[in-house]
Amino acid sequence: MRGRIEALIVAATLIVGRTGARAQAPLPAPGPSGALFPSLLADPKEPEFFATYLWQRSSRLASRLGAVGFGQTFGVLGTRDWQLSIAAGVFSQFDLSSSTADLMNTDYLVGLPLAYRRGGTALRFGLYHQSSHLGDEYMLHAHAQRVDLSFEAAELLLSRELAHWRVYGGGEYLFTHSPPDLKPGVLHAGLEYRQPGSLVRLGRLAAGRLVAALDGRSVQDRGWQIGWSFVTGLELADPLLVPGSGWRWSLLLKGYSGPSPYGEFFRDRVSSLGFGLGLSL
């Protein structure tokens, strides 16, 4: 029941945020990326729409996993230099190695990020809530016990754009959390590259360019082990808009190694490789 309520909250947040984004006048593009603080390409927790097929190695997770996401970050108030947004997302993983494709885990995320930009330097500070739930079918078939994982956290990230590269770093602090012994510290950094110009062009419909990113998240609860996430592939966007703004499709090769990014399995270690389709609005 709690999971269904949180899903409804996230869905309502997305609808309200999207309506508000349409109602307000569009802000001018503040920088070369077309956004105050562009979404992180390789962060598994970044709210976006995606579907990914993964081959995975883990002690409890399936060898073939389907990971899907439903989420977005919507600006609701701001100027050329700063913007307050609503971020909401639902992230689920399915066991594709079983005939029933059981839902294994779902993470719900709702937050209020505040972004500030000056030139090629951008800052994002936000408060967010995350909770996680095992799928009913998986619990039945695997006789698994649910861990009550939920927390509220403060995040601070600083990024710098250098030509076609972007570097960022910062961290998080979990100021309330369950289970009680969950250690609160997270360090977070990464590097991104976007090809100048376009690799392919479909007339006035879309332009595609090569993108690549490496994201590292060090978690105190796992003895500061680092979870490495890598993506590379093609990003398709409206050729008439500033790069990084408007709708964007992505076809990406994805790899991960480190502490599990899936809530109910947060104390497991996983490695995976796969490919996925993403959409940003």
Residues 6+ apart with CB under 8 A from 1: none
The residue-averaged pLDDT of 182-186 equals 97
How do residues 62-83 score in pLDDT, each as one tens digit? 899 999 999 999 899 999 999 9
Q: For the chain, give me the number of helices (H) and strands (E)? A: 2, 13
DSSP label at residue 212: E
Residues 6+ apart with CB under 8 A from 265: 58, 60, 61, 104, 105
Pairing of strands 185-194, 200-202: unpaired
How do residues 148-159 score in pLDDT, each as one tens digit? 899 999 999 999
- CA angle, corner 42, sides to 36 and 44, nearest 5? 105
How do residues 157-176 score in pLDDT, each as one tens digit? 999 999 899 999 999 999 99
Global confidence as pTM: 0.86
Q: What pLDDT sits at residue 31?
A: 40
Average pLDDT of the chain, as a whole number: 87
d(CA 11, CA 22): 17
Among 3-17, 104-118, 258-272, the least confident range: 3-17
Looking at the chain, the whole-number percentage of residues with pLDDT higher than 90 is 69
Q: Of 79, 78, 71, 77, nearest to 111 (Cα)? A: 71
How do residues 210-248 score in pLDDT, each as one tens digit? 999 999 999 999 999 999 999 999 999 887 766 656 788
Instruction: Output phi, psi for 137, to 5 deg.
Output: -65, -40
| Residue given tokens 């289970």 in the structure block | 179
Q: What pLDDT sits at residue 197?
A: 83
Q: What pLDDT sits at residue 160?
A: 97
d(CA 192, CA 42): 8
Element (H, E) at 64: strand 64-78
pLDDT band at 141 (very low <50, low <70, confident <90, very high): confident
DSSP label at residue 203: T
Q: Extract the tokens encoding 52.
A: 């990914």
The CATH number of the domain holding residue 67 is: 2.40.230.10
The residue-averaged pLDDT of 115-129 equals 96
The residue-averaged pLDDT of 199-219 equals 91
The residue-averaged pLDDT of 12-31 equals 45
Contact 211, 253 (CB under 8 A): no
d(CA 24, CA 103): 38
Q: What pLDDT sits at residue 22?
A: 43
For residues 159-186, b (16+ Cβ closer than 10 Å) or e, as one string? bebeeeebebebbbebeebeeeebeeeb
The residue-averaged pLDDT of 191-218 equals 91
Among 8-17, 88-97, 224-233, the least confident range: 8-17
Pairing of strands 121-134, 103-118: antiparallel
pLDDT band at 107 (very low <50, low <70, confident <90, very high): very high
pLDDT value at 84 more than 70:
yes
Count of domains forming the chain = 1
pLDDT value at 257 more than 50:
yes
pLDDT value at 250 more than 60:
yes
The residue-averaged pLDDT of 121-144 equals 92
Question: Per-residue DSSP letters for 123-169?
Answer: EEEEEEEEEEEE-HHHHHHHT------EEEEEEEEEEEEETTEEEEE
**Greater confidence, 106 or 198?**
106
The domain of 228 spans 2-280
pLDDT value at 49 more than 50:
yes
pLDDT value at 264 more than 70:
yes
